[in-house]
Structure 1
Amino acid sequence: MPLQLDLRHYETVVAITELGTMTAAAELLHSSQSALSHRLAEAERRLGTALFERGPRRRLLPTRAGLMVHQAAGRALADLERTEHLLLAEQRTVTATVRIAVGSYDCYHWFPAFLRDVRAHHPTIDLQLVVIDDQPSAHLATGSADLVIAPGTTEGIFDTQPLFLDELVLCVSPQHRLAGRRSVEATDLTDEFYLTYNPRPAPGFEFDRFIGPAATYPRTVTVVEQTNAIAELVAADAGVSILSRWALSPMIDAGRIVEVRCGEGGLPLEWNALVRPNEKEGSPTRLIADELARHLDDVVLPEP
């Protein structure tokens, strides 16, 4: 038996049931009240039964038949909408892929929201996360990465685009003896088990700017190559470390790690986007670097 109603009739029943008035339903469906009234009357005539009745304050209340149509139509329309979205997504033509890496830190809490923004505004550009070591210049040169988000001063040949200002902070567990301090000096770390991801002190980081000038060093220094692993060890009170506040912000904000300022003035840390110097203006990589700068422009870190 062929269907007695078409898609417009089902849309009308769903809209009136959920909104309660012909006026609101007509506005939702971009139709006139007169056209919607005729459509509803036609649906009731075809089915041979009333779908709505007048309720208090002139609201339209679905009859038993109206509720049956609404429930079936709601499920069907939702399935149709999902199918359309899937088909449209499959037709999205990707014309460029930009490989993004994070230097020094394995932190990706920023990526999901950024990926959604790029897909919404630049559907022809695909983003891929890649993992690199602490030498972004080599990965840019070989093409294993197209854009590297890196903290501080990085050696190599590339173009630099500033992103936001961060801070290196001492990270300790909530139970640690220094957790209640507003700031620490390098001498406060002489009895600590210190964790670092870099086997060689890097210019512009804590050994260069904070620990070295004080000529006093932690009791032991252990290299753990992954910053996520360092963060978990710090949370377990198995050591301390000086790391990027932004990179560890999920654990800091969750209260698993406590941040303490290094020195009264702190240790500012700038993050930059690095791209190949021969990258053409207007290329997908340059465009994504600009989008990243705008996306991270509102990063504001509270003082420890």
Structure 2
Amino acid sequence: MSSRLEMHHYETIVAVSETGSVTAAAGRLHVSQSAVSHRLAEAERRLGGRLFERRPSRGMQPTPAALALCQAAHRAMPDLARAERDFMRSVGGTTATVRIGVGSYDCYHWLAQFATASVDRLEGLLLELVVVGDAPVQRLADGTADLVLAPGPAHGTCEAQHLFTDELVLITHPEHRLADRTWIGPEAVAEEDYFTYNRQPSPGFEYERFLRPAGVSPRTITVLEQTGAIAEMIAADFGVSILSRWAMSPWLESGRLVAVRCSRSGLELEWSALTRIETDGDAPERQVAHAIVDWLGNAKQAWTSPTLGN
């Protein structure tokens, strides 16, 4: 059975899902607002149902029936882009491929800006996205990834370059009872339905540093392996989570989600660029790692959290 939708429909669905508005989606896709509206209307006509609904203070949100479609589009788009790059590499012009992953959080909102700013410096290098989950060291060791942007404690078995200081924050719906707090203590999570992306707590993250010392567990815990899916569920007011502020920045900037500091002083989260320790200094993955570090400094990207401790 052939798909009823075309690529531009799925691109539009992903953009509206992530930004929460037709206007923001149009800006991301570099098309007019009317073009976005037309694509959505055409997709709904072909599928025979509503894809999004507008809610006060929440913006455009996927309908319950469309949530699985949005998640499938999020997974499929990187796979299709990778297949296109593989084809382009096979017909010439590429000298090396660097496989990049993001540890713990499946967030790539930074990649397009970085690639655009570094196009001359990385000429001939093809950047390929891979999934590393919460096992960045293993994915480097088994060759799945060449370079991983990883949060949390640095690993002695890898070469690590510091990138920036982030913050672990409580992520809530804008109208959630905790959304207007300046900060929360761990006990505030005890009565919440909680989403997490891993089945076992990772060292150096919220459970070890915030919840366990207080002897606190959420009321319910649901595992969703993709943080994008967690964000959508929280945006629909199904629960809360403690996640990287930077990873959630597209949803926070659109106003669909709210971040609340964990503890009065906050929970710092360091990000590093990891490569295999035996990698040559002039290897393509090291070149990309250096380019990311330089880009962060030169472009002055807002990847860091507000100053902790204030």
For normalisation by structure 1, the TM-score amounts to: 0.67
Match of 2:292 in 1: 292
Aligned ranges for residues 53-132 of structure 1 at < 5 Å?
93-132=93-132
Letter in 2 for 1:96: A
Q: For 2:155 and 2:278, how far apart are their aligned partners in 1?
A: 17
Unaligned ranges ≥5, structure 2: 1-90
CA offsets per residue over residues 133-159 of structure 1, 9 Å max, x none? 321122212222100001002657211
Q: Which digits, 9 at most, give the CA deviation of each residue in 1:19-45, with x for residues without a partner? A: xxxxxxxxxxxxxxxxxxxxxxxxxxx
Secondary structure, aligned partner of 1:286 = helix
Q: What is the distance in 1 between the residues matched to 2:215 and 2:286?
A: 43
8 A contact 1:118–1:125 mirrored in 2: no
Residue of structure 1 in register with 2:244 after alignment: 244
Q: 1:209 to 1:270 in 2, by over 3 A?
A: same
Q: How many residues in Structure 1 have an aligned counterpart in Structure 2?
A: 216
1:181 partner letter? R
Q: Tell me the distance in 1 between the aligned counterparts of 2:240 and 2:154.
A: 24
Aligned to 1:158: 158
2:203 aligned residue: 203
Please give the per-residue CA displacement for 1:223-276, whole angstroms capped at 9, x wherever unaligned. 111110111111111010000000000100110000000000000000010100
The CA RMSD measured in Å over matched residues stands at 2.0
**CA–CA separation in structure 2 for the residues paired with 1:265 and 1:164:** 18
Q: Which amino acid aligns with 2:190?
A: T
Q: Secondary structure, in 3 states, of the residue corresponding to 1:119?
A: coil
Aligned residue for 2:234, secondary structure, equals: helix
Does structure 2 retain, via aligned residues, the 8 Å contact 1:93–1:123? no
> Are 1:98 and 1:125, in contact at CA under 8 Å, matched by a contact in 2?
yes
| Farther off after superposition, 114-123 or 195-204 | 114-123
2: CA distance, partners of 1:190 / 1:173: 17
- 1:117 Cα offset (Å): 2.5
Moved more, 123-132 or 208-217: 123-132
Given residue 166 of structure 1, which amino acid in structure 2 is its aligned partner? Answer: D
Q: Which runs of 5+ in 1 are unaligned?
A: 1-90
SS in 2 for 1:234: helix
What does residue range 1-304 of structure 1 map to in structure 2 within 5 Å? 93-153=93-153, 157-297=157-297, 298-300=300-302, 301-303=304-306
Q: For residue 164 of structure 1, give the secondary structure of its aligned residue in structure 2.
A: strand
C-alpha distance 92-109 of structure 1, shift in aligned 2 (>3 A)? same
TM-aligned CA distance change 1:299 to 1:267, over 3 Å? farther
Tell me the TM-score normalized by structure 2. 0.66
Residue 97 of structure 1 and its aligned partner are, at CA, apart by 1.1
Letter in 2 for 1:296: L
The structure that has the greater radius of gyration is: 1
| Superposed displacement of residue 217, structure 1 | 1.5
CA distance in 1, matches of 2:157, 2:256: 38
Runs of 4+ in structure 1 deviating by more than 6 angstroms, as ranges, are: none
% of aligned pairs identical?
49
Asked whether the 8 Å contact 1:97–1:128 carries over to 2, the reply is yes
Aligned-pair CA distance for 1:204:
0.8
Describe the shift of the 1:287–1:101 C-alpha distance in structure 2 as closer, same or farther (beyond 3 A). Answer: same
CA offsets 1:155-175 (integer angstroms, 9 cap, x no match)? 572111110000000000011
Tell me the alpha carbon deviations over residues 70-103 of structure 1, each in whole angstroms, 9 at most, x when there is no partner.
Answer: xxxxxxxxxxxxxxxxxxxxx9832111111111
Separation in 2, partners of 1:242, 1:226? 14
Whether contact under 8 Å (1:92, 1:123) holds in the other structure is: no
Distance in 2 of aligned mates of 1:100 and 1:164: 17
Q: Secondary structure at the match of 1:137?
A: helix
